[in-house]
Structure 1
């Protein structure tokens, strides 16, 4: 007869594993998808499940390695030696999100349909403390030398947890700025398009390469800080309209042979001490000339900060954000544009924007949710310009106001259908109808 360890420890550990997995599943099904609090909670439950699995494996190995039964006297004198704990098993997870859009402006001849994004994510957990996170994105369906599509690595970093509270990330990661940048899946925001403030002022999806330290505390405070690559002002194209529309996005390096003579710094903090409430802020700064020989404004610097809030009392989902940034010390660069273009896009020393949004989530049959929403935002991509004489200095591009009203209809937490109407205060030719479908898993 083979020798067996008592069944009770195994059954208790199996029950603990089942309860842990069940708690994670129930939590994911009852909470709104793609929220940071959900991700943090599921991550903690996953680590707890790994520990339970390791203990189960330890007992199984001890059971299999136990020697044949000895005479009663000898058996009583020789205690059972358990095998060393087995390391946590590696786990690889595949994720994805994507969205298809239809935009019809006032001029119907300019209506467009697009596969806006298709993203594949891959995570691999090496052990309980260390994992790799990556995302590969395809934009606009087709990528070639004659097409407008793009293939980009959106994230690629190693995360190592020092303990339950602190951790490190190294590689290419999303900047912890605003409400949208780190949670930009189509199921995570209202409306077909991402809001203008967090795309024209905060250049979402914004990622940098570097080193980040972060903390998640029981008090509800989470924070991060680090050193990263920054913006490259030598990329500014005075003959392009991109700088007028999205000043920082036009000089974002995206870790593509990124100039790193001058590194940037950032910090962020969020508080979730009251259920359903998130209050936070972030700041970023760094030089942008990178020691480029002969560059007109070698001391130019980029700065950006934001404050944000989100509150979800019951079925309501309320959020607001303000952000302000600027490119300082670019006066000589602006002067150099005067002889190169009849209507150059000058480098702004200030830009800002804010929005307020309210949505109501009606729970329908099963997992279906109907979420009507309204949003109002104001933003200005050029409030001032250094180095330009009177009569040439544009002063300000003007503050655009956008009203958006729409519906998100969730077939389940992972699939959403969207529709909205947008009305612009200054450029009414941009008034449009948007339709879309998105998914995330």
Structure 2
């Protein structure tokens, strides 16, 4: 009954008449990270609620030779609810924190019991699926050089760098990057960041060393997406990862970014150091590029991701032997290469009609995504075609307020193909209609 009530409420929300501002103001009020916006502290956050109406089953890999069986089912969820807090000790030292409540589940902590042959044990003591998304101390030094230490966002890819729910059009985060990488990706580490240049040669940069990925979590369906550390009370830092991101902002309304991730030997970060010892080093390289153009008429974004996992055959062979008490899927093979690319564009209806204030700020949009965690394997590996997805999403975003958006969209996935248009001849398509609401904002600041 509660699910039905929530669906009805979401359906009726577009009938409300709340004045909205233009998209330029949405960007300013929502995405700015300037410390000049507050004097001492600020408290806020963001959240999402989504209802999905699907025509496919729960598992395309065990639904038969045609992929997912055709079956109508509906879901409703709160993907995430995040509370954020910033506090200035003074003008140079700043504390920042974000706590994420995800999907209303139950959180658990795992530990390796050294007195019992290294068996996995579970501690159900975290009460609710709660995670520290950010917790760091920042030292502001100069526009071009600042230092941050603690639990920080890893800005690899467009979605991780700009993960707040008003920074993408669909009811859910773009599926390509979030299927291949941790999302939101946050790790313990050290960051140096700043801006340099001026005019048409203006850049922002981030350089960091963070806890590297754990190959125990690498699998067939998500590539390295389930390899983020954090299930234990301590992270392995034996082989840290190095991350660099550069954003070009010299042209008004345009942002072009690129990021690089490198870990020399992810195997050294595994739960048990002997798991991959006989297979050699496991290097990871991830390259991404993205762009956004935004004016009062249109918002357009695009991104591409290419990942390379060294010794993927060894990872696959080791992971299928992991204990069935472990929290990992053990699905193999894990691919050598994974790929994702996407583009989306939306048009501001109010601006098309001359900025008439009586017309709501509504963006019809369309997004295309291709992703494949099984793009290419090593010799002797057979890739799973059902991991290959070509996906279209189209819908509407209504900005009832600059920092509150109501979304509706229809998505269709074609499985086992890389064709932009057309229907897969090998597997059933997966289609769904979704409605949702999302917000972001600072509730209190001083």
TM-score (norm 2): 0.74
- CA 1:93/1:428 → structure 2, altered by over 3 Å: closer, same or farther? farther
Root mean square deviation, CA, Å: 2.9
2:259 is equivalent to residue 289 of structure 1: no
2:50 is equivalent to residue 33 of structure 1: no
- CA 1:411/1:283 → structure 2, altered by over 3 Å: closer, same or farther? same
Alignment partner, residue 112 of structure 1: 75
What is the SS of the residue equivalent to 1:190?
A: coil
State the Cα deviation string for residues 133-170 of structure 1 (Å, max 9, x = none). 11111111243669996211111111111123321111
2:350 is equivalent to residue 379 of structure 1: no
Tell me by how many angstroms 1:300 deviates.
Answer: 0.6
Alignment partner, residue 161 of structure 1: 140
- CA 1:142/1:293 → structure 2, altered by over 3 Å: closer, same or farther? closer
2:171 is equivalent to residue 192 of structure 1: yes
Alignment partner, residue 221 of structure 2: 245
- Kept in 2, the 8 Å contact 1:140–1:149? The answer is no
2:263 is equivalent to residue 270 of structure 1: no
More helix, by proportion: 1
- Kept in 1, the 8 Å contact 2:51–2:436? The answer is yes
Alignment partner, residue 421 of structure 1: 410
Alignment partner, residue 336 of structure 2: 349
CA distance in structure 1 between the aligned counterparts of 2:320 and 2:105, rounded to whole angstroms: 37
CA distance in structure 2 between the aligned counterparts of 1:167 and 1:339, rounded to whole angstroms: 44
Tell me by how many angstroms 1:187 deviates.
Answer: 2.0
CA distance in structure 1 between the aligned counterparts of 2:230 and 2:197, rounded to whole angstroms: 34
State the Cα deviation string for residues 328-369 of structure 1 (Å, max 9, x = none). 11323334567889x942121100110111111233637951
Using CA pairs below 8 Å that are at least 6 residues apart, which structure has the higher relative contact order?
Answer: 2
Tell me by how many angstroms 1:32 deviates.
Answer: 4.0
Tell me by how many angstroms 1:327 deviates.
Answer: 1.5
Alignment partner, residue 440 of structure 1: 440
Give matches, 1:66-105, under 5 Å: 91-105=40-54
2:302 is equivalent to residue 320 of structure 1: yes
Residue 403 of structure 1 is aligned with which of 392, 415, 419?
392
Aligned length: 360
Alignment partner, residue 12 of structure 1: none
Tell me by how many angstroms 1:434 deviates.
Answer: 0.7
What is the SS of the residue equivalent to 2:160?
A: coil
CA distance in structure 1 between the aligned counterparts of 2:104 and 2:253, rounded to whole angstroms: 37
- CA 1:33/1:172 → structure 2, altered by over 3 Å: closer, same or farther? farther
CA distance in structure 2 between the aligned counterparts of 1:155 and 1:381, rounded to whole angstroms: 27
Q: Look at both structures and tell me which one has the larger radius of gyration over its CA atoms.
A: 1
Tell me by how many angstroms 1:215 deviates.
Answer: 1.5
- CA 1:339/1:247 → structure 2, altered by over 3 Å: closer, same or farther? closer
Tell me by how many angstroms 1:395 deviates.
Answer: 7.0
State the Cα deviation string for residues 114-138 of structure 1 (Å, max 9, x = none). 1221111111111111111111111
* Higher mean displacement: 291-300 or 280-289: 291-300
What is the SS of the residue equivalent to 1:416?
A: strand
Tell me by how many angstroms 1:198 deviates.
Answer: 2.0
Tell me by how many angstroms 1:317 deviates.
Answer: 0.5
CA distance in structure 2 between the aligned counterparts of 1:216 and 1:37, rounded to whole angstroms: 20
What is the SS of the residue equivalent to 2:398?
A: strand
Tell me by how many angstroms 1:293 deviates.
Answer: 2.0
What stretches of structure 2 of length at least 5 have no aligned partner? 1-20, 57-70, 109-123, 325-329, 351-355, 416-426, 442-446
TM-score (norm 1): 0.74
